[in-house]
Amino acid sequence: MCGIVGFVGHQGDALTFLFEGLKRLEYRGYDSAGIALATNGAVALAKAQGKLAVLEPLLGTLPRGVPLGIGHTRWATHGRPTDLNAHPHTDCRGTIATVHNGIIENYQELRSELIAQGHTFVSDTDTEVIPHLLEAYGGDEDLLGAVREVERRLSGAYAFLAISAKQPDRIVAVRRSSPLIVGLGEGVNYVASDVGAFLPKTRRALVLENGDVALVTPDAVEIQTQEGALAHRAPFTVDWDIKQAERGGYAHFMLKEIMEQPDVWTDCLMGRVRGDHIEAGELGLPWSQRKNIRRIQIVAAGTAYHAGLVGKALMERLARIPVDVAVASEFRYQNPVLDPGTLVLAISQSGETADTLASVSLARQLGAPTYAVVNTVGSTLARESDYVVYTHAGPEIAVASTKAYTTQLLVLTMLALQLAAERGHARSDLVRALWSLPALGEQVLASLGKIVEMARRLATESDVFYVGRGIDYALAMEGQLKIKEIAYIHAEAYPAGELKHGTLALIEEGTPVVAIVTDRVMAEKTLSNILEVKARGAEVWAIVDAGLPQEWPVDHLIRLDLPDPLLSPALTALPLQLLAYWTAVHRGQDVDQPRNLAKSVTVE
Ligand code: F6R
């Protein structure tokens, strides 16, 4: 998703900061980038389609030592990724510049109105209406006043920054849904869509609330609410270790994030699991709510949805609470049946996924309590849900979600065990065993060296099936998404027992099938399904619990030392993630920033 960065100082080199800041936002995924500086009464602009390496040589045309500027990484929504559609966008006179995240829904009508008034548009974007409106409302004379007028005209979910070369001491920042954070320096302030952009410069920050308009000058941040009242947003210190946001010696962020999972599992369990009980208060959902739950409705997207599928199995089997799981983009338009006894549980790494946010907003309108399982502290989902629990996975930089997913699984496991205990189905054996997971994770990761070669074989394929039953099927769903998104191999997950009802017709000599077997109750059944595909010539990669007694007549075998199947999902995810990772590496793909994808999907 798009990234925003801004710099306003008494002095200093905005250009260097903005380019470095954009580099730190690269993980969000983008297809063009640009920078605008306010200099000598005009805006100096450099922007280009493609990665920052394409932009970098163009920066030579921009002046150094200018202390006001804004930058942007764009992920195309309105208009193709081109040089002209890249942000920043300017007004007709070239004195006002803006960068924008999100969508202006009524841009077509505004654009027609502005063209009728004589404004000239050069891009296909929705964004470009903003600088032209600012021009029309006198932004060069009073940027803040013009922004206030303009944001009354815009509908949609967005955030933007505006500068005017005629007022070179200020950035005006607007937040309507998409996140914006101000970094507080000495004689300089920064604005960004993500703290990571300014972390090397300052750890003091404040988060703009929805509806805020901020006037950011080198020494002050003046915030007005949507209604125009002055507001105070409490500064806080960002405690992320900058090292966490670096690759730590691994070739890719994704590999680093896979390998650090045992550590983040420790962070996730910390303070929440003590001996044979869960510290319920640490799960963020008060007893007054937990005791009323009759049904749970999980909403999420992509990988987080797959975590929800595992969560459903855990909560139904352990706590005997009925659980439905919905893809958020569907749920929000399904006119769902909700009531105060249905807990709507939203799962999200970023906490900014538009469909998930809309689902939670709908749930609240319908009177259902909302509870978010989120990784990003201070994210919109965390702030807009009634209750929140954080997964503590740390910043996840690779677009493909790995550690965020497995920490979601752990939080859902803790929740299921707590709800089970409160409903008279306590499993203190499982609670005690939770703390064995980080060490088991280390062991599993250490045992998976052979996956590199197994992936080399898979890398030559163009279609692959992932099969399993029960929780293993939910894991198969995640396995197939991982290989699709980073290795660009078409993949399909199937309940193993369902193959013979049609899909088995596709199995022929050499068809690759990844089978997952960790559920002891169904192992024999899944083995039969493996034999069915083997008999038709399939080449099988099997990921199995080493404790199972069966023989596995497969082509590539990964045996995992697993605890109870209800505690195993996060461990079983590890080989699935590594298989996708190494397959993508062998195919020479851009593992951390796969094509067409963004880390945070803040548009529908
Ligand atoms: C896949 C992936 C996506 C996200 C999905 C939801 O690896 O990362 O499928 O899981 O876009 O994002 P969040 O969790 O931020 O709501």
Of 47, 256, 403, 599, catalytic: 599
Q: Is 356 in the pocket of ligand 1 (CB under 6 A)?
A: yes
At residue 11, does pLDDT exceed 90? Answer: yes
The answer on 532 and 459 residing in a single domain is yes
Give the span between the Cα atoms of 4 and 34, in whole angstroms: 10
Residue nearest to atom 5 of ligand 1 (CA): 302
Pick the last residue of a domain from 246, 278, 295: 246
At residue 270, does pLDDT exceed 70? Answer: yes
The structural domain count of the chain equals: 3
Q: Is 329 in the pocket of ligand 1 (CB under 6 A)?
A: no
The answer on 140 and 235 residing in a single domain is yes
At residue 245, does pLDDT exceed 50? Answer: no
Which has more confidence, 554 or 103? Answer: 554
Residues 379-395: what's their mean pLDDT? 90
Q: Is 400 in the pocket of ligand 1 (CB under 6 A)?
A: yes
Tell me the percentage of the chain whose pLDDT exceeds 90.
84
Which has more confidence, 163 or 228? Answer: 163
Maximum mean pLDDT: which of 52-66, 68-82, 237-251: 52-66
The answer on 404 and 328 residing in a single domain is yes
Confidence grade of residue 28 (pLDDT, cut at 50, 70, 90): low
Give the span between the Cα atoms of 323 and 308, in whole angstroms: 9
* Ligand 1 midpoint to CA 301 (Å): 6
The answer on 149 and 110 residing in a single domain is yes
Q: Is 348 in the pocket of ligand 1 (CB under 6 A)?
A: yes
Residue nearest to atom 3 of ligand 1 (CA): 302
Q: Is 304 in the pocket of ligand 1 (CB under 6 A)?
A: yes
Give strand pairing partners of 156.
104
pLDDT in tens, 105-164: 899 999 999 999 999 999 999 999 999 999 999 999 999 999 999 999 998 879 999 999
The answer on 103 and 65 residing in a single domain is yes
At residue 243, does pLDDT exceed 80? Answer: no
The answer on 171 and 77 residing in a single domain is yes
From residue 201, alpha-carbon distances to 19, 71, 196 in Å are: 13, 16, 10
Do the Cβ atoms of 48 and 64 come closer than 8 Å? Answer: no
The answer on 255 and 237 residing in a single domain is no
Residues 301-313: what's their mean pLDDT? 98
Average pLDDT, the chain: 94
Q: Would you state the pLDDT for residue 379?
A: 82
Give the span between the Cα atoms of 371 and 386, in whole angstroms: 6
The answer on 357 and 495 residing in a single domain is no
> What is the reported pTM?
0.74
Any idea what the CATH number is for the domain that residue 538 is in?
3.40.50.10490
Sign of CA dihedral 379, 382, 385, 391: positive
Q: What is the largest CA-CA distance in the chain?
A: 78
Closest atom of ligand 1 to 350 CA is: 15
Any idea what the CATH number is for the domain that residue 53 is in?
3.60.20.10
The answer on 196 and 99 residing in a single domain is yes
Give the span between the Cα atoms of 510 and 41, in whole angstroms: 67
Strands (E) across 50-166 are located at 68-74, 89-90, 96-104, 156-164
Q: Is 92 a catalytic residue?
A: no
**Residues with Cβ within 8 Å of residue 172, at least 6 apart in sequence:** 143, 144, 147, 161, 162, 163, 213, 214, 215, 216
Residues 210-216: what's their mean pLDDT? 95
Closest atom of ligand 1 to 303 CA is: 10
Which backbone phi and psi does 558 adopt, to 5 degrees? -120, 115
Segment (H or E) for 326: strand 323-327
Of 2, 268, 403, 482, catalytic: 2
How many other β-carbons are positioned within 10 Å of the β-carbon of residue 169? 15
The answer on 478 and 424 residing in a single domain is no
The answer on 571 and 518 residing in a single domain is yes
**Domain ranges, residue 583:** 447-604
Confidence grade of residue 173 (pLDDT, cut at 50, 70, 90): very high
Q: Is 398 in the pocket of ligand 1 (CB under 6 A)?
A: no
Q: Would you state the pLDDT for residue 178?
A: 77
Strand pairing class (171-176; 213-216)? antiparallel
Give the span between the Cα atoms of 363 and 366, in whole angstroms: 5
The answer on 469 and 325 residing in a single domain is no
Do the Cβ atoms of 312 and 358 come closer than 8 Å? Answer: no
Strand pairing class (463-468; 490-495)? parallel
Confidence grade of residue 397 (pLDDT, cut at 50, 70, 90): confident
Q: Which of 52-56, 77-81, 196-200, 547-551 has the weakest average pLDDT? A: 77-81
Strand pairing class (188-192; 3-9)? antiparallel
Pick the last residue of a domain from 444, 476, 494: 444
CA angle 446, 373, 477 (to 5 degrees): 55
From the list 169, 168, 156, 104, the residue with the least C-alpha distance to 132 is 104
Give the span between the Cα atoms of 569 and 547, in whole angstroms: 15
Query: What burial class does residue 521 get, using C-beta atoms within 10 Å of its C-beta: 0-12 exposed, 13-18 middle, 19+ buried?
Result: exposed
Pick the last residue of a domain from 226, 246, 266: 246
